[in-house]
């Protein structure tokens, strides 16, 4: 059973489009992280959110932590080919629980 469900599982969009990835759970987390992983490499940390309702921006990426600290979203504005990769969310409980992943392909 996966504690964190991500949607969509796969996403293929044109360069310049906007997109949102969702990370949902019925469990409360003390913090939530988003990672991006490229083939042959380990996941790279993008952001950590801690407070319910928190919004963080990283250039064209906007991350939001749900008010109840059970879910999160990642919004990318004007996607670029360099955004291509596997996006993973991870919730912190007594261990880190990883989401099912969203594979994003941005077509030039």
Partner 1 sequence: KAGVTQTPRYLIKTRGQQVTLSCSPISGHRSVSWYQQTPGQGLQFLFEYFSETQRNKGNFPGRFSGRQFSNSRSEMNVSTLELGDSALYLCASSPGTRNQPQHFGDGTRLSIL
> Is the dihedral angle over the CA atoms 82, 75, 16, 60 positive or is it negative?
negative
Evaluate whether 14 touches 107 at the Cβ level (below 8 Å): yes
91 binds partner 1 per the rule CB under 8 A: no
- Cβ distance to partner 1 smaller for residue 74 or 88: 88
Encoded tokens for 52: 């319910």
Residue 92 binding partner 1, by CB under 8 A: yes
Judged by CB under 8 A, the stretch of 19-27, 28-36, 60-68, 75-83 that binds partner 1 is 28-36
* Cα 83 from Cα 77, distance rounded (Å): 10
- Applying CB under 8 A, what is the total number of residues that bind partner 1? 24
The answer to the question of residue 64 lying near partner 1 (CB under 8 A) is no
Q: Taking Cα atoms as reference points, which of 104, 108, 79 lies closest to residue 21?
A: 104
User: Given the rule CB under 8 A, which of 16-24, 59-67, 69-77, 89-97 is the region that contacts partner 1?
Assistant: 89-97
């Amino acid at each position: 059973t996966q504690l964190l469900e991500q949607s969509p599982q796969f996403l293929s969009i044109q360069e310049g489009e906007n997109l949102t990835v969702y990370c949902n759970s019925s469990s409360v987390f003390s913090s939530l992280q988003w990672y991006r992983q490229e083939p042959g490499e380990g996941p790279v940390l993008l952001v950590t959110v801690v407070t319910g309702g928190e919004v963080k921006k990283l250039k064209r990426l906007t991350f939001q932590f749900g008010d109840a600290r059970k879910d999160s979203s990642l919004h990318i504005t004007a996607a670029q080919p360099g955004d291509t990769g596997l996006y993973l969310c991870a919730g912190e409980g007594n261990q880190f629980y990883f989401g099912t992943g969203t594979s994003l392909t941005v077509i030039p």
